[in-house]
Amino acid sequence: MRASAVLQATWQRTRRPRTWGAALLFGLVWNGTRALMGLPEPSLLELLAPSLWVALFLLLAPLPWQWTGDDRPMAGSLRGAVQALPWMTALTLGVLLLLGSAGGLQPFGRGPGPGAGPGAGMGMMERGGPRRGMGPHREEPRLMPVHPRFWVLGVAHLCFGLLLGWVLADRERAEFQVAAARRAADEAQARTLQGQMNPHVLFNAISGLTELVREDPAAAEAALVNLSELLRTLLGHGSRLRAPLGDERRLVERHLALERLRLGHRLRETWDWPEALDALEVPPLMIQPLVENALKHGVSMALGGGALDVKVARRDDHLWVRVANTGPAPAAEEGPGLGLRNLRERLRLLGAPADALRLQREGEWTVAELSLEVKA
C-alpha cells in the first residue's frame, strides 16, 4: 500500500469493534488473574495498562507489513520483516515504559533495584564511610543495571508484535482482495445492466416511430436522423461506470427530440436543469429511464397528452433529480418496467440506499425522485 492507504487502513482498525473488544477482554482476563492470585489492589493506570498494550499492538503492528510504496496490499516476507523489526523495537520500548510505570518496574532509578542484594544500597559509598563532602544521610543517584525481567519481556513483546503484525496484515490483505473481487463482479454486472439499456432505449424509440412513417413521412425522416444521433450518444455514454452529467443531458435531449416529433403539441415540458451541474460525474443512464418511463406510461397514454417536469439540483454531496408527469397513474399490478427494474438493480450494485429511488403519486402527478452521490 501507499502511505495514504496505510494510514486509511490504520484508521479503519480504530473503528472496528473487535479491536477494542479484544483489548478490553485481555484487560479483564489480566486483572482477573491478578485478583485471583491475591496481588495488591492495582491503581487506575495498572488497570488500564494491559488493555492499552493490546490496543497499541493491534493498531500499529500491521503498519510496517502493509507499506509497500505501490498498490500491493502487503509487503513480501523479507521486506516486511526488515521494516517491522525497528518499528516493533520502538513500539516494544514504549510498551515496556507503559507497563513499567504502571507496575512499578524501574530499570533506572535510585536505591536498590529488583533482585539487588542486601548491600546493594552501598554501591555509591566507599567502604570506610560516606564520601568526603557528603552528609551522613545524603546519597547521589546511581545507575542501576537493567533487570533480567525487562530483557525477557522485551524479547517476548518483540516476537509477539512481529507475528501479530504479519497475521493482521495478511488477514487484511485477504479481506482487501475479497472486497476488490466483489467490486469487480458488481462493476461487471452493472456494465451488463447498462448494456441491456442500450437496445431497450432503441427499441422504444423505433417502436414510437412506426406510426410516423404512415402519418408524416417528413417527420419520420427527421426522426431517423435524431435516432442515429441517439445511437451515437448511447454508444459513448453507456460504456462507462461514471460520466459527466452533461452527457446525460444530451442523451435526454436526443430522446425528447424524438418524442416531440411523435407527440407534437401533446407533450408540454418544463426544465430546471442548471448547466453548472454538467461537470459532476454520476453513473450513466440514470435520468433517461425516468424520463422515458414518464413519457411512455404517462404522457403518451393520456388522450390529450400531458406535462413533463424535470428538475435537477445539487444538495451537499448528492444530486437530486425529480421527474414528474401528468397522465394516468401507473397500475400497481403491472409492476415497474424493464427500465426501472434495471435502474433499481444498478443502484443496489453501486451501494445506494434502498430509498435512493422513490415513486409516488402527488395529486394528478406521478413523481419519481432520485438521489445520487456525485463526484466533482
**Which one is predicted more confidently, 189 or 341?**
341
What is the percent of the chain with per-residue pLDDT over 70, rounded to a whole number?
74
Q: What is the mean pLDDT of residues 153-165?
A: 82
Is the domain spanning 216-373 CATH 3.40.50.800? The answer is no
pLDDT at 303: 83
pLDDT at 319: 93
**Which one is predicted more confidently, 221 or 355?**
355
pLDDT bucket at 233, cuts 50 / 70 / 90: confident
- Cα separation, 297 vs 302, in Å, equals 9
pLDDT at 312: 95
Q: Is the pLDDT of residue 314 over 90?
A: yes
Condensed to tens digits (0 to 9), the pLDDT of residues 267-278 reads 999 999 999 999
In a 13 Å sphere around the CA of 161, the CA atoms on its Cβ side amount to: 31
Q: What is the mean pLDDT of residues 293-298?
A: 87
pLDDT bucket at 239, cuts 50 / 70 / 90: low
Q: What is the mean pLDDT of residues 19-23?
A: 91
The mean predicted confidence, pLDDT, of the chain is 78
Residue 310: partners with Cβ closer than 8 Å, 6 or more residues away: 252, 269, 270, 271, 272, 273, 287, 291, 321, 322, 323
Q: Are strands 318-326 and 306-315 parallel, antiparallel or unpaired?
A: antiparallel
Least confident residue range of 62-76, 217-231, 338-352 = 217-231
pTM for the whole structure:
0.54
Condensed to tens digits (0 to 9), the pLDDT of residues 163-178 reads 888 999 999 888 888 8
pLDDT bucket at 243, cuts 50 / 70 / 90: confident
Q: Is the pLDDT of residue 132 over 60?
A: no
Q: Is the pLDDT of residue 232 over 70?
A: yes
pLDDT at 223: 74
Least confident residue range of 225-234, 330-339, 364-373 = 330-339
Domain extent listing, the chain: 3-106+145-179, 216-373
pLDDT at 71: 82
Condensed to tens digits (0 to 9), the pLDDT of residues 174-207 reads 888 888 777 777 766 666 666 666 566 666 667 6
| Listed residue (29, 9, 10) closest to 21, CA to CA | 29
Q: Are strands 357-362 and 243-244 parallel, antiparallel or unpaired?
A: unpaired
Residue 337: partners with Cβ closer than 8 Å, 6 or more residues away: 293, 296, 297
pLDDT at 272: 94
In a 13 Å sphere around the CA of 172, the CA atoms on its Cβ side amount to: 26
pLDDT at 192: 65
Q: What does residue 308 show for φ and ψ, rounded to 5 degrees?
A: -125, 130
Condensed to tens digits (0 to 9), the pLDDT of residues 61-119 reads 898 899 888 888 888 888 988 898 888 888 878 776 766 655 544 444 444 443 333 33
**Which one is predicted more confidently, 123 or 44?**
44
DSSP states along 103-140: HT--SS-SS--TT--TTGGGTTSBTTBSPTT--TT---
Q: What is the mean pLDDT of residues 136-154?
A: 57
Q: What is the mean pLDDT of residues 4-22?
A: 89
Distances (CA, A) of 297 to 31, 124, 199, 334: 69, 99, 19, 11
